[in-house]
Chains A and B, each alone.
Chain A
Amino acid sequence: MARSALKSYIYGIRKAVPVFFGFLPVAITFAILATSAGMSGMETAAMSVFVFAGASQIMAVQMISAGAGAFSIILATFVLNLRHLIMSTCVFRRVKIKNFFLKLISALSVTDEGFALITTEDEENCTPPFVLGVITLTYLSWVCGTVVGVVASNILPKIIADSFGIALYALFLALIVPDVKRNARLFVTVILTALINSVLIYLVKLDSSWSIIISTLVGAAIGTFVVKDEDEPDSTEEQTAEGQEVAEL
């Protein structure tokens, strides 16, 4: 069932609505931290426009407050964002894009949240307009949220701002639980991944930017052995697109 380009674009925007709720408070938090770290409103907004990476930006302003130099901040950003190399591979394997400039723009979809939306969407829906729709709302929420934070830093009562801290976690859970629930072996893989990540963070005392990369890769490697081929293509309803893809490999 092919959709028209405009319909796909709007569908992408609609799919990204939960990210809007998640990004807005994070962007406002970032703006508050940035201005209290001494950055001007212009610099704060520019960072969101050009970097577009929530965790890195918050880490950067915290490092600025702690007196860190530019080089160490850039290095830390690089390490923190290395995971996007893996996520981008998944996204571009799923969404077939030939046009050079479209590739350059589509790379902006590779935030943790954009990746989550695109890789859990039925493959037949993963068209370039869909990706552009996802980018439109995620990018606008991030930039607008930052501007709102700069202009009116105490616009949100603390209890509301704190409560929205759960939003992006809830979104990730909403995206993976339906598939994991139907597949006991996938469930085992996911639990093992969470366990590995916890051990790396709490016992090995590894920085979470590294532990996320390592547990993602190790977990996926375990998954290739644990999850049966005939399990993975969920034969039930809307998961058939994924199933066909696996069958073709």
Chain B
Amino acid sequence: MNVYLLILGMMLVTYIPRVLPAFIVDKLKFGKRFGKFINMIPYTAMTALIFPGILQTDAEHWYIGAVGGIVAIILACFKKIPSAVIVMASVLSVMAVYWVI
């Protein structure tokens, strides 16, 4: 298989869905309900990306992802903690669990 042709094909099918809305979003008229629908998508898309995938962070131990996730949720409940700090704390908590098991 020619890997460069594969890369070209993957590039096209990846880039087109990313760029297409840039040229059509101005032409669409958003009604009140559709606007609300679009505003909901960041929350539902991120949720779908998180769960249940987070439990597969480690293929053999589901609780690895659970521990890291709970640490992130608790810290995110406090205001003023930068997301980079939350991410590192979550990584460190997972590292600690790996250390113990």
List chain A positions with a Cβ less than 8 A from chain B. Answer: 17-18, 21-22, 39-40, 43, 46-47, 50-53, 56-57, 60, 64, 69-71, 73-74, 77-78, 81-93, 97, 103-104, 106-108, 110, 112, 115-116, 119-120, 159-160, 162-167, 169-181, 186, 189-190, 193-194, 197-198, 201-202, 208, 211-212, 215-217, 219-221, 223-224, 227, 229, 232, 242, 245-246, 249
A163 and B94 within 8 A (CB): yes
Shortest distance between the CB of A4 and any CB in chain B (Å): 22
Nearest 10 A/B pairs, CB to CB: A219-B44, A166-B68, A170-B90, A177-B76, A223-B40, A107-B19, A119-B42, A220-B40, A78-B13, A174-B83
Bound CA span A87–B90, Å: 26
Contacts A85-B17, A216-B41: A166 and B22 contacting too (C-beta < 8 A)?
A: no
B86 and A81 within 8 A (CB): no
B24-52: CB near A (< 8 Å → 1, else 0) gives 01000010110111111111111111111
B13 and A81 within 8 A (CB): yes
List chain B positions with a Cβ less than 8 A from chain A. Answer: 1-11, 13-15, 17-23, 25, 30, 32-33, 35-54, 57-58, 64-65, 68-69, 71-73, 75-77, 79, 83-84, 86-92, 94-95, 98-99
B41 and A86 within 8 A (CB): yes
Chain B residues with Cβ under 8 A from A164's Cβ?
Answer: 91
Interchain CB contact (< 8 A) of A190 among B37, B47, B95: B47
Main secondary structure on A side of the interface with B: helix
Bound CA span A46–B64, Å: 33
Contacts A46-B7, A170-B91, A219-B40: A70 and B19 contacting too (C-beta < 8 A)?
A: no
Interchain CB contact (< 8 A) of A64 among B1, B40, B53: B1
B17 and A160 within 8 A (CB): no
Bound CA span A71–B6, Å: 8
Chain A residues with Cβ under 8 A from B14's Cβ?
Answer: 51-53, 56, 77, 81, 84
